[in-house]
Amino acid sequence: KAGVTQTPRYLIKTRGQQVTLSCSPISGHRSVSWYQQTPGQGLQFLFEYFSETQRNKGNFPGRFSGRQFSNSRSEMNVSTLELGDSALYLCASSLQGAYNEQFFGPGTRLTVL
Amino acid sequence: AQSVTQLDSHVSVSEGTPVLLRCNYSSSYSPSLFWYVQHPNKGLQLLLKYTSAATLVKGINGFEAEFKKSETSFHLTKPSAHMSDAAEYFCVVSAYGSSNTGKLIFGQGTTLQVKP
């Protein structure tokens, strides 16, 4: 069974631009969660989608948004990029989300200049 | 609220010696606990999970962890370290409640260095 895939793997953007990251979960998994990983803050939860609905959201500004499609693929969008948005963005999929182990993709490394 | 504390930010061992990575958790409910490993420039890989079954949990690559409720600990061990074990290790708790679905709470991570 194929694992979680994320595209692109690397992105370089400038301040003020917007970016869209994509995540394809493991086949049959309906929950997709997104995390931001930085050296200073560690791994922080962004949001979770299940059956095209956002069920949970972390403490991030509204510039961070996402969506999920009927095939469970998910996208994350960051608008008006700031230098502090430079991070590794990880998505994870699980069967149901609650208390299930999550399987992570390789991440998208976003650099904001 | 749930939280995890990894007691060591960096652990160094020699190849062939035991590994101990310490983790304490805080939870008002019976927690679901995990250990994940992250190799450089890679995503996170699940090593093992505890979900209220056996307190001694065996994972991949010879790792195991013991859930101790009285000590609120979930330490990760391995009898003999390999060079390939060098990585960042995260102790993780699953957030509880219907409003917290899909949320994992991560410790700050422990960097394991394995010396030849």
The verdict on A10 touching B (C-beta cutoff 8 Å) is no
Digit-coded pLDDT (tens) for A25-84? 999 999 999 999 999 899 999 999 999 999 889 999 999 999 999 999 999 999 999 999
Please give the Cα distance from A50 to A17 (Å, whole number).
Answer: 28
B101 with A56: Cβ contact below 8 A: yes
Which H or E element spans position B111?
A: strand B110-115
The verdict on A79 touching B (C-beta cutoff 8 Å) is no
Alpha helices in B31-107 (DSSP H): none
Chain A residue closest to B106 (CA)?
Answer: A43
**Residues comprising chain A, all counted:** 113
Cα dist from A91 to A22, A73, B55, B113, whole Å: 9, 11, 29, 27
Could you list the mean pLDDT of each consecutive 10-residue stretch along chain B, which spans 116 residues? 92 98 89 92 90 87 94 96 97 79 88 97
Digit-coded pLDDT (tens) for B30-59? 788 999 999 987 889 999 999 877 889 999
Residue of A31, A104, A107 with shortest CB distance to B102:
A31
Non-local (6+) Cβ contacts of B65 within 8 A are B33, B35, B48, B50, B56, B57, B59, B74, B75, B76, B77
Please give the Cα distance from A7 to A20 (Å, whole number).
Answer: 9
